[in-house]
Structure formats: C-alpha cells, structure tokens
Amino acid sequence: LHDVSGGRFTLGLGASTAQLVEGLHDTPFREPFDRMRRTIVQVRALLAGERLPLGTAGARPLRLNLPPVSGLPIHLAGLAPEAIRLAGEVADGWLPFLFPRSRLDEGRALLLEGAGRVSPARALPTIVPSLPTVVAADAAEARRGAAWFVAFYLTTMGPFYPRAISRLGFAKEVDAVIAANTTRGSAVVPPEAEVLLDELMVYGTPDQARARLARWQAAGAAMPILLLPPNQSSAQIDFALEALC
C-alpha cells in the first residue's frame, strides 16, 4: 500500500477494547499499553529491514523479505490518558475517536507529557481525530444520523466509550443517552445531551457541517478523518464528500 500510493500510506494502530479483543478476536485483553508499545517498536524495526526485536524467548528473530521502508507514519489511536502519552512518546500521529472537541487541549497536554519522556523531547505528533460525519440536505435527517452514531457507541460497545467520555466532563450527558435508549437500536440523544452531538460529530446540512468541521480544525485537528455512516449509497457518500472535501 505504501508503494502503490506513492508514499501516502499511514499505518493506524490501536489497542482496541476488551469487548472487541476478547469478544471478536478471542485474545485476552492484558497490558494493552505495553503491548502497543512493543508492537510499534517491532513494526518499525521490521519496516527498517531489521530482525524482529523483543521476540519470544528462544525463538529465532526473523526479518521481512522486502526492501526497507523509511518514513512510513504510524498513528496511534487512544482515549485513555496513558494511551495518549504513549502516542506522544512513540507515534507520528494521535488518532482519537469520540474525543470531545473542547477537550483537545487536554489531549495535547498529554501528548506533550509523552513526548517529554524521550531525551531530547520529540516533536508533537499530528492530531488526526476520526470524526463520525453525517451530511444531508435536511438538517433533521442529519441530526438523526448523528444521534445514531452517539447512541450506538454509548449503548452497544461496552463500558469503554461511556467511561472515557464521562471522564472528560460529560457524565450527565452520557447517563442521559443511556437512559433514553432502553431498547436496542432506538438511537435517541435527548435534548439534555445535545452537546454531545456538537462535541463528538460533524453533521448537518452542507453549510452546517462545514462550519462544524472548521471548529474542529480551529481546535487543533490538523487532519480530520471523516467517518461516514455504514450502508450509504454512492450518492449519499458523494454528497458528503463534495460538501466537505
């Protein structure tokens, strides 16, 4: 991918959550930050043409039978404070998902702490948030799509996102969303939690969505990544991309 894209490929890595690691990949979710650090060290060494470092005791370290690759960026996803510090320490970019826009400064401070662990301190990683994005000609339709995103991740993906967003100052709003979605698929964000849509999403008519995207950029998002809803038609995808790109 790095070769065929002319060097435009970026590798995104993350520890994921216990629900996905154990419930989908059948792997114990243990020491996620240590495993993430180890993975980045190993991937960078293999891309450089070196033998696998930090391998299993007794195993013969191998290398890739490929020409070395230099300058391939690695972006690290994470919402927990230690994950963000780790991104500051070892990654080229920080890839937050469902991280409130008004808290990006707090994330930047954690990145600086991580970068300061290295002597001399490294450059701050690029902030590249993954933003759930819903654009429609009708504002109410876009709002319904945005509500689905927020309700889905707060009510069906285990405790990770509710805990992370609550820790960042939105506990009452998170509780309100959970209380409003007692049946699977109800996708309700009540008025008392409306701020979550603005803090976590890019949505609305083309003009509204462009204004919200601009607020993310002004808050420090150097390269926002637009995550569109699943199962959209080609026309819907084109409509959103033409509005924002």
pLDDT tens digits along 147-184: 999 999 999 888 999 999 999 999 999 999 999 999 88
User: 210 vs 45, 200, 214, 244, CA distance in Å?
Assistant: 40, 15, 6, 6
Q: Give Cβ neighbours of residue 154 (< 8 Å, ≥ 6 apart).
A: 161, 162, 165, 174, 177, 178, 181
Is-contact 196 99, C-beta < 8 A?
Answer: no
Indicate whether 57 pLDDT > 80: no
- pTM of the model as a whole: 0.90
| Amino acid 51: pLDDT | 93
Indicate whether 185 pLDDT > 90: no
Is-contact 133 226, C-beta < 8 A?
Answer: yes
The amino acid present at 47, given as its one-letter code, is: L
User: 117 vs 53, 110, 120, 225, CA distance in Å?
Assistant: 21, 11, 8, 28
- Quote the CA–CA distance of 161 and 85 in Å, as a whole number: 18
Q: What is the mean pLDDT of residues 215-234?
A: 96
**Confidence class of residue 59 from pLDDT cuts 50, 70 and 90?**
confident
Indicate whether 20 pLDDT > 90: no
| Amino acid 39: pLDDT | 93
pLDDT in tens, 80-128: 999 999 999 999 999 999 999 999 999 999 999 999 999 888 899 999 9
Is-contact 109 47, C-beta < 8 A?
Answer: no
